[in-house]
Amino acid sequence: MKIALGSAQFGLDYGLTNRNGKVSTPELKKILSFARSMNIDTIDTSANYGDSEQALGDHDLSSFKIVTKTLSLQNGVHNVKKGFEESLNNLRLKNVYGLLIHNIKDTRSSDFESLFELLTHLKNDGLIDSLGFSVYSPEDVKHLLNHYDFDLIQVPINVFDSRLIETDILNELKKKGVEIHARSIFLQGLLLNLKKFDPYFNQWKLQFEKYEKIVNKSGLNFLEYALNYVLSIEQIDRLILGVESKKQLSDICTSVKNNFETGAFPISDENLINPSLWKIQF
């Protein structure tokens, strides 16, 4: 299955729609068990997600591919290496499927070439299967394609943010054999209900109303439409979806529709499609 588990909610009170706080240990066990039963084989995590890695490490991860991320290069290459070693320890693993450079700004550091060389050595030593990047824009991807060889990339894609679809970037990544993981499928939950959020979003009210009419006409609900749009993009290998409960994951899995046509509703305003720019109180 293309669906992968995002784990920010396992270690933090994360997300626009999160009303229950961090996922409890018993609920996490249920989520992981259900994920296995649905052939969900990938979990995305990070040392920056609170105690997510420790929480995951308390469970059997042998059937999952674990993708984690680096600490910031701001404190030096040694600190990044130490952080990765701590991630392995917290996850109770000897190696991980993927390690992503978490902050694309690190590539501008004078220390980055040393870091990339170090991480490549860790890959060659078998501690990492796939080395890659987490990015935020098409410009980031273009820069990486021009300067580095890598195995895995994590990108934001959803019905409002189709920038990577409007270019040929996904095909360029595939030509280089890069595995593509999509995040922000529901735009931190905004795409699941456009009417119950902060007044900050009122500036896009007219666009939201037009999009709602399209969704209603399709016969799908908001979750089904947003999910199946990204599922329909053939270049995408995994969709990273965070959940707070087994029920949420079950609802997502039952919302997968085969051969159902959905389309993007592009809104190019970064103040909407980039959650880091949202001026709201979580």
Residue pLDDT, tens place only, 30-44: 999 999 999 999 999
Domain chopping of the chain, boundaries: 3-277
pLDDT of residue 195: 84
What lies within 8 Å, CB to CB, of 125 at 6+ separation is: none
- Bridge partners (DSSP) listed for residue 188: none
SS3 163: helix
Buried/exposed code over 221-242 (b: 16+ C-beta within 10 A; e: otherwise): ebbbbbbbbbbebebbbbbbbb
Question: CATH assignment of 3-277?
Answer: 3.20.20.100
Would you give the end-to-end CA distance of the chain in angstroms?
Answer: 32
Which two tokens mark 280? Answer: 């709201």
- % the chain with pLDDT above 70: 96
| Token pair of 65 as six digits | 């591919």
3-class DSSP assignment, residue 269: coil
Residue 18 clears pLDDT 50, i.e. is over it:
no
Q: Give the pTM.
A: 0.93
Q: Using the predicted structure, report yes or no on whether residue 162 has a pLDDT greater than 60.
A: yes
CA 107, distance to chain mean position in Å, is: 20
Distances (CA, A) of 21 to 44, 69, 176: 19, 23, 40
